[in-house]
Structure 1
Amino acid sequence: MRSSMDDGIAADFYDFESALSDEERKILLKTRAFMHDEVKPLVNENWAAGTFPEELITKFRESGLVGLSYEGYGEHRPAVSHLLTGMMALEMSRVDASVATFFGVHTGLAMYSVHAGGSQEQRDRWLPGMAAIGAFALTEPLDGSDVAAGMGTTAERQGDTWVLNGAKRWIGNATFADHVVVWARDLADEQVKGFVVGKGTPGFVTEKIANKISLRIVENADITLTDVRVPEADRLQNVESFRDVAEVLRATRSGVAWQALGVMIGAYELALAYATEREQFGRPLAGFQLVQDLLVKSLGNITACWGMLLQLARLQDSGVFKDQHSSLAKAHVTARMREVVGWAREIFGGNGIVLDYDVARFFSDAEAIYSFEGTREMNTLIVGKAVTGESAFV
């Protein structure tokens, strides 16, 4: 058995990395090196400024890490396993959750929308070139969890053109994305349709959301659509209703759970290192029982969640994956993440609120991950319906 401990993953207490094949592990190590060498030096400065380091766009395009989930696209022609893509999300979030979110919005939400909802012609047209950046516009200013029932953005067909009007909010990557997948309600049949809107399309306006306390590197935007004209050829041809949107969310929600695990691990590793180096009362913090208790509880959460996500990836790879599986993972892992980042910050004491020590960034970023891709409450209702047979949605 090959241990990842030698590569600095102190939190992999049960050696989950050994579940990867040799080829998959090479890709994971490539991801690890990219995040350490190219991303980590840029993180704190950009987090403090609330800016995205745009030089990373070119570096990601050249990295060979984009599009690995899709057979025939990207550098890796066969699609890689869900376990590897999950471990890649973990690896990215272990360094920075904002950059991991940027990557997940592009390669997960945007690319998967085209992969699952587009025709073969559309997949061939957009996916190879989506080393360019994508975004996913679903949430609206007045509709979050209830957007399926209350979507205000509309689409009206006029011959071979669709006219979109409305507004979207919290759309990651939207300020600089080359392609934005916009979901809108068709006025003719009241069903949700998907449209790929290109950068610079007249009537499509983005405005960066300022003053965030979480995922500050992510360029979330408000989008206003005023008579935005989209050709029928750019409507996702295999999307007929919100059920198709839900399919995208079902597939990507598990990635958010892996991201939450990565945040846990990043915070835990920081706390462990600090506890062994920082001395109080003439001994390292790590030598105190109460500190060890926090570290062990953190490691327990990490290990349990990692095992859960390992099996979740196996369900995905075997084709028996269901909504409730990803919902339970997202709800449970993000809740445990909140505990771990809190304990990690506690170990740092006053230094835990200073960006220089990194843990404050993990602590803050966890709040956004806890809420997006379905709140804990909404995911609980999905799982609750599955286990009881009764719907508690109102």
Structure 2
Amino acid sequence: MSLFGKVKNTINLLKSVDLNQLAKISETIDLPEAMDALGNLDERQLKGLMKMLKTKKKKGQHNLPPIDGDFYNLDLKLSPEQRELQLEVRNFMEDEVKPLVNDHWNRAKFPFEIIEKFKKLNIAGIPYEGYGCPNLPFLMEGVIAQEMARVDVSISTFFGVHSGLAMGSIYLCGSEEQKQEWLPQMQKLEKIGAFGLTEPNVGSGVSQGMETTCKFDGENWILNGQKKWIGNATFADVIIIWARDEDSNKVKGFILRKDNPGFVAEKMKDKMALRIVQNALITLTDCSIPESDRLQNANSFRDTAKVLKMTRAGVAWQAVGCARGAYESALKYSKKREQFGRPIASYQLIQNHLVEMLSNLTAMQTMVFRLSELQDQELLTDEHASLAKVYCSMRTRDVVSRAREVLGGNGILLEHDVARFVADAEAIYSYEGTKEINTLIVGRAITGYSAFVN
């Protein structure tokens, strides 16, 4: 975290607490270090700090509590090192990404300039061991997904596709040679990844109805078919493609390089959600891939499902981040927006909306924290991940809807951020398994009966 960031966080906390609470604060912030930092501010930083402190309160205004969506202080479950990384990502998203997102979201453009800055965070492949990856708990992968989605779900999705789905496919299903070739470069974001599973005619039923085919001709694998909704695919260096073997009818995975003949990625347009994400319609026409680029440990859809199970928890965390961003934006707005001579935050109906939002958010947060604990303990099951994805994506819809209502007419303007959260929540609701599919996964686990249509 930057020097000014440390001071700013400390001041924001100190302004809202009494002396009896300082002991609690000292558990998460090194107060002597932060206070010492005050003497090291440069002139620009000092002026900014003094401006913040000198802001005059309006007549009758009292000290208001800070805007913080972590009502149950779940961040205290993190170690000091984990908390530092969380705040580093938060500051990056606030300082480097937030000023760009509304403009790029509106124009459906990706801010490529942030990739170089992303590299400095060193967070790609968070839970993987070796290959330059941080090898941190899955909990931190979730926390980072939340912090990104709290500012922008599109950027969180870009990162989740690259670090989770693409890197994860190679990490779980690749040979050692493939891991050595790709993972170190992808960890440094020198190579960007994408993941091609969903197709134009097959989404939820892709495990049995995959239309993209592969056939070994004695030297290479020949792929034909289409993939749809493939994030990052318009500019990715490597795309993981899943295809059905014409001979064995088994699903296999392939590492497709962007310059491979027979591969075309066409940008999808006119989306109402995740507009920054560059989704593509991929067409494969007699696309030849050498055996050395076939994922050596991906021999059936069960192997594909391992990747999805690992990353589905991250999508639940994304939903939490989206909800938190909407809640905090609505709360901030309610304290500034005045009607009938008072901030709207002082009215009962607005407080009811805010508390309902916070209740949903807090329930979601406790669920995903426990979900990641199960994952770190190697106890995570498909139904665990599916239940979290179902619940969190549904509750996020409710939270963003209430945030939109708190903002009234301003809720449809990008400048207040809530409109973007409302739209992006719809994408979270559908990807990585719809509500219906994830519901049936949980239903099968608790009843012992499969309600899937064969």
Normalising by the residue count of structure 1, what TM-score does the alignment of the two structures yield?
A: 0.97
Structure 1 CA distance for aligned equivalents of residues 184 and 424 of structure 2: 31
Please say which of residues 51-60 and 133-142 is displaced more in the overlay. Answer: 51-60
Instruction: Say if 1:118 and 1:238, in contact at 8 Å, map to a contact too.
Output: yes
Give 2:69's aligned amino acid: A
Match status 1:98 vs 2:157: no
Give 1:204's aligned amino acid: F
Instruction: Say if 2:125 and 2:164, in contact at 8 Å, map to a contact too.
Output: no
Match of residue 286, structure 2, among 201, 205, 227: 227
Q: Give CA deviations for 1:157-189 in whole Å, capped at 9, x if unaligned.
A: 122311111000000000000000000001110
* Corresponding position of 1:43: 101
Deviation (angstroms), 1:74: 3.4
Structure 1 stretches of 5 or more lacking a match?
none
Instruction: Say if 2:157 and 2:277, in contact at 8 Å, map to a contact too.
Output: yes
Match status 1:116 vs 2:211: no
Match status 1:19 vs 2:77: yes
* Corresponding position of 1:190: 249
Q: Give CA deviations for 1:250-283 in whole Å, capped at 9, x if unaligned.
A: 1111100000000000000000011011011111
Match of residue 267, structure 2, among 183, 208, 221: 208
* Corresponding position of 1:32: 90
Give 1:350's aligned amino acid: G
Deviation (angstroms), 1:59: 2.2
Fraction of identical pairs, as percent: 56
Structure 2 CA distance for aligned equivalents of residues 75 and 234 of structure 1: 22
| Number of aligned positions between the proteins | 392
Equivalent position SS for 2:184? coil
Give 1:97's aligned amino acid: V
Mapping 1:1-394, distance limit 5 Å: 1-2=24-25, 10-74=68-132, 76=134, 79-130=135-186, 131=189, 132-394=191-453
Equivalent position SS for 2:200? coil
Structure 1 CA distance for aligned equivalents of residues 151 and 441 of structure 2: 31
Instruction: Say if 2:149 and 2:318, in contact at 8 Å, map to a contact too.
Output: yes
Instruction: Say if 2:126 and 2:137, in contact at 8 Å, map to a contact too.
Output: no
Structure 1 CA distance for aligned equivalents of residues 432 and 159 of structure 2: 15
Q: Give CA deviations for 1:31-55 in whole Å, capped at 9, x if unaligned.
A: 1121112111110110000111111
Give 1:45's aligned amino acid: D
Structure 2 CA distance for aligned equivalents of residues 230 and 75 of structure 1: 27
Deviation (angstroms), 1:362: 0.5
Deviation (angstroms), 1:385: 0.3
Deviation (angstroms), 1:30: 1.4
Structure showing greater radius of gyration is: 2
Please say which of residues 63-72 and 316-325 is displaced more in the overlay. Answer: 63-72
Please say which of residues 116-125 and 219-228 is displaced more in the overlay. Answer: 116-125
Deviation (angstroms), 1:8: 6.6
Give 1:35's aligned amino acid: M
CA RMSD of aligned residues (A): 1.6
Instruction: Say if 2:126 and 2:140, in contact at 8 Å, map to a contact too.
Output: no
Normalising by the residue count of structure 2, what TM-score does the alignment of the two structures yield?
A: 0.84
Give 1:304's aligned amino acid: A
